[in-house]
Amino acid sequence: MRLIFTLFLGVAAQWVTAQDITGIWRGHFRQNNRSLQLLNLEDRYRFEVQLAQEGKNFKAVTYSYKTTEFYGKADAKGSIHTGTKKVYLEELKIVDVRMQLGNDACIMTCFLQYTKNGNEEFMEGTYVSMNTRDSSDCGRGTIFLRKVPTSDFYKEPFLTEREKKSKGEENIRINEAPPVAKTSPQKPPVSSPKPVQPPAKPKPPVVKDPSPAPSKLPEPDIESRKPLTPVVVPPALKERQNEVVKTFTVNTRQISINLYDNGTIDKDTVSVYLNNRLVVSKKMLSLSPITVNIDLEEENDYVELVMVADNLGEIPPNTSLMIVKAGNKQYEVRITSTEQKNAMVVFKFQRE
């Protein structure tokens, strides 16, 4: 049993280590602009992210650039969900920008999925953007990033410090390992000709703690490691576009959601996924609410709720009214989903 517990801890430690996404990520983002696509015009921008993770949260800077047309650098922050490996990246403010006259600068909020294939690490997903001048919608699109060893610019000081700290912690663990190994082959005690204390008065550890060693694993430890089970993305989320229609920043971890048909009852049915897990299956929207309760975990500060249209009802598209209650605040969102596009609502916890 002790051997099984040791192996289990080893697997858990390896899994947790894999969640550290500190480093340099480079790739591109592309706007979902149908007009440009029809004209075969290039709308792809290069994108670099440097981030330093502490716990589940991280500090970051982003670089967006496209030949001589545009260059922008922004401060950012974010977090990674320890169970689903989803990454939330939010640009806070632009600190440097160069662009053509008449253009506006925008900041992005990114919803990414971390994956690893062999030695390669990737993050990809979608983004929404906001104009820094008047807070209007700047469009949305897709992002692809790959972890790389070097920057196209220079390594940020906060990233250098974080890497030094990680290397120091690793050296400490390596240096501490030999003393642990040396404790097992202890030499038998040799009687000393001049003992400092009488040998008849040793401190017997058995008397101090007579309780036997536990014969089985503590149940709470097993429960706390349930996120080790991988989350499989359902086909309804993988094969359709997941469009972020609203992001809520809340100051409570308990959220209640009621879903109604938005207008005429025309037999629309929906399924609802919370962080890729099915919580509502093929229920018809009506005047009676479909209720979903969310309890944000202490270790994870955001969740993604996705509405999937199982059919389009008698009057397409599939439309619904979402009423959100978070603490003493209430919000309304009108949702539209189709057989090609799901509607995603993001809830992000932030203390006041």
Task: List the CATH number of the domain containing 73.
Answer: 2.40.128.120
Final residue of a structural domain among 148, 171, 190: 148
Bridge partners of 93?
Answer: 75
- 153 in a domain, yes or no? no
Asked whether residue 104 carries a pLDDT value surpassing 70, the answer given is: yes
The residue-averaged pLDDT of 139-167 equals 88
Q: Is residue 310 part of a domain?
A: yes
Is there a domain that residue 25 lies in?
yes
Q: How far is CA 89 from the centre of its chain?
A: 9
Domain that holds residue 263: 234-349
Residue 312 domain flag? yes
pLDDT digits (tens, 9 = 90+) for 22-36: 999 999 998 886 655
User: Could you write out the three-class secondary structure of 58-91?
Assistant: EEEEEEEEECCCEEEEEEEEEEECCCCCEEEEEE
The two tokens of residue 230 are: 């991988």
Number of structural domains (the chain) is: 2
30 and 141 share a domain? yes
Confidence of residue 209 (pLDDT cuts 50, 70, 90): very low
Domain end marker among 80, 113, 148? 148
Last residue within a domain, chosen from 123, 148, 173: 148
H or E segment at 333?
Answer: strand 329-337
Q: If residue 179 lies in a helix (H) or strand (E), which one and from where to where?
A: helix 157-182
The segment with the largest mean pLDDT, out of 35-39, 172-176, 206-210, 322-326, is 322-326
Q: How confident is the model at residue 16 (pLDDT cuts 50, 70, 90)?
A: very low
3-state secondary structure 281-331: EEEECCCCCEEEEEECCCCCCEEEEEEEECCCCCCCCEEEEEEEEECCEEE
List the structure tokens of 32. Answer: 């979902």
The reply to whether 58 falls in a domain is yes
Decide if 294 is inside a domain: yes
Could you tell me which of 313, 293, 311, 312 has the C-alpha nearest to residue 303?
293
Q: Which two tokens stand for residue 323?
A: 């009423």
User: What's residue 218's pLDDT?
Assistant: 42
Residue bearing tokens 């075969």: 40
Q: What is the CATH number of the domain that holds 324?
A: 2.60.40
The tens digit of pLDDT for each residue in 220-229 reads 433 333 444 4
- Bridging pattern class, strands 341-349 and 241-250: parallel
Q: Which pLDDT belongs to residue 174?
A: 52
Distance CA 77, CA 73 (A): 13
Q: What is the pLDDT of residue 243?
A: 86
